[in-house]
Structure 1
Amino acid sequence: MATKHVSEVFVPKTIELDDTEKSKLQTDVQKIKKKKKGGSTTRGVVYLGHIPLGFYEPDMKKFFGQFGRVTRLRLSRSKKTGRSKGYAFVEFLHEDVAKIVASTLNNYLMFMRLLKCEFMPKDKVHPETFKGCHKKFAPVKSASVAADRHNKTKTEAQVKRSQARQTKKSRAVLNKLSEMGIEYSLGGVEVCVWIDRVKLSEMGIEYSLGGVEKTQSPVPQMIKTPGGKLHVLKEDSGDAEVTFKTPPGAIKSSRLSMTPKVKVVQRRSKRLQK
């Protein structure tokens, strides 16, 4: 096993430099450190672009720390989702080290992506470039994002769309209940029933623009429901005083008339269109 030096940091082989490039870079960095030793140093900033997914702050500090001392690092993240935006800024203690890193690692292949490195002069560095770089990033919770979206003040158009969706769902529920012979109402929500004029004429029902007028009410022997077919038990007026249990797979004829408020919508028959 190789001896671990204090100045070296072991990183995954997929993002480690070649031995020749690494030795050359370390030699240049050592020359700069000896030259700057004992005097004031000017820090240098490097812009990183095309950062691959999964290459985050801890890995960046280890990777760039082998070239020189990294004083500050900031990876740009989305405030909404917390995901990386694909670019970052790295500040080195020595400006010359930053220039060498930018020239050496530009277009460096990392995780099947070409890493873009560019040295930024001092006059082009924004004062708030490294704002919040020392704070640990806290991932945004999906529950808080959903709560903020739900509690956000909606516009008039958004309110109308929301009400239309809710009304459509309520009508669908009422339609299913009415087909099963269950009477139910939801605060004035009307049930939308599609009318086929040919079928109405075959059943002896006259259709008008004002609605439907029932002239004959033949009791069908069987009806179709979402749960399957049901046999209809005909009831006479004399059966009002006699109560009996409805067998399974059947429904009383009196239940067929128990329907909620109905809104009639005309639909042209396919046979008429031909």
Structure 2
Amino acid sequence: MASKTSTWNTKADLVPLEKDKAKELRARISKIKQAEVLRPGAVFVGHIPHGFFEPQVKRFFSQFGTVSRVRLARSKKTGGPKGYGYIEFECEEVAKVVAETMNNYLMFEKLLKCEFIPTERLHPKTFHGSNRKFLKPTRRSTAIRKHNKPKDAAATLQSAMRLASKNLGRKRKYAALGLNYDFSGYDDMAKKAKLQAASIVTPKVPKSEEEVKTTKQEPATLLLDSSDPEISFKTPPGVSKVKKIKKAAKKQT
């Protein structure tokens, strides 16, 4: 039995539309008059089922009109599709009809979400890289990109301190064996990283007297009635307790 990916390459396995849907769509597209200068139109497609990749999307939507470009959103780390993408048709009117007709169309237990996107709203890099085959990133390329990523001052300081700490442990091991090991390269690197990190930290500006007065608030007070010992109050932080003592009633003479 052939795999699912290989069967998509044959025309017989193209997913057809429902008869009523296909008839309505083709009738609306046939009414569109072909202009001398065609203006392209883009359609946003969401809720794309898994396994429906760029070649399948292009072949499926090509039955409605000429598809110029297709680009699906993919993860930069794994290369897996995110379930949405953009399709550019050669004719803008065809794109509008497809977006209106194919919206909420059930495909592989998912409702397609289609919306026409005007050219003015499209980002210049929406179809960037759509003319070449997508290659999934390998572990090697991911590791190289992560290793060569420029580090900030905090990451540089952390790396330098880690190397200096390992070098100190190495010195102690060699000293216990009676070997003279003196290498101060990592220590100098750590000192340089500390100076660089300290120069980036902005000093705190002291507040003025007016700001200190406005921000300083008097602590709240909580009145406690000591006449009823069964009731206990939990004092919130920053609140001072003040006991309220009731005077005993004078005896009548």
Structure index of larger Rg: 1
- SS of structure 2 residue aligned to 1:98: helix
Task: Determine the structure 1 residue equivalent to 2:25.
Answer: 25
Task: Determine the structure 1 residue equivalent to 2:50.
Answer: 53
Q: Does 1:40 align with 2:37?
A: yes
Counterpart-to-counterpart distance in 1, 2:66 and 2:47: 23
Task: Determine the structure 1 residue equivalent to 2:95.
Answer: 98
Cα-to-partner distance string for 1:220-265 (whole Å, 9 max, x where unaligned): xxxxxxxxxxxxxxxxxxxxxxxxxxxxxxxxxxxxxxxxxxxxxx
Which runs of 5 or more structure 1 residues have no equivalent in the other structure?
Answer: 1-8, 168-184, 190-274
Amino acid at match of 1:125: L
Counterpart-to-counterpart distance in 2, 1:116 and 1:123: 21
Counterpart-to-counterpart distance in 2, 1:111 and 1:160: 53
Task: Determine the structure 2 residue equivalent to 1:138.
Answer: 135
Asked whether the 8 Å contact 1:11–1:63 carries over to 2, the reply is no
Q: What's the CA shift for 1:31?
A: 2.4
- SS of structure 2 residue aligned to 1:76: strand
Counterpart-to-counterpart distance in 2, 1:10 and 1:100: 25
Alpha carbons of structure 1 residues 92 and 152: separation in structure 2 relative to 1, 3 Å:
closer
Q: What's the CA shift for 1:103?
A: 1.0
Q: Does 1:112 align with 2:109?
A: yes
| Structure with the largest fraction of strand | 1
CA RMSD of aligned residues (A): 3.2
Q: What's the CA shift for 1:10?
A: 4.3
Alpha carbons of structure 1 residues 18 and 158: separation in structure 2 relative to 1, 3 Å:
farther
Task: Determine the structure 2 residue equivalent to 1:159.
Answer: 159
Identity of aligned residues (%): 45
Alpha carbons of structure 1 residues 30 and 82: separation in structure 2 relative to 1, 3 Å:
same
Task: Determine the structure 2 residue equivalent to 1:85.
Answer: 82
Amino acid at match of 2:97: I
Alpha carbons of structure 1 residues 146 and 27: separation in structure 2 relative to 1, 3 Å:
same
Counterpart-to-counterpart distance in 2, 1:110 and 1:28: 21
Alpha carbons of structure 1 residues 187 and 86: separation in structure 2 relative to 1, 3 Å:
farther
Alpha carbons of structure 1 residues 48 and 162: separation in structure 2 relative to 1, 3 Å:
farther
Which runs of 5 or more structure 2 residues have no equivalent in the other structure?
Answer: 1-10, 174-253
Alpha carbons of structure 1 residues 63 and 162: separation in structure 2 relative to 1, 3 Å:
farther
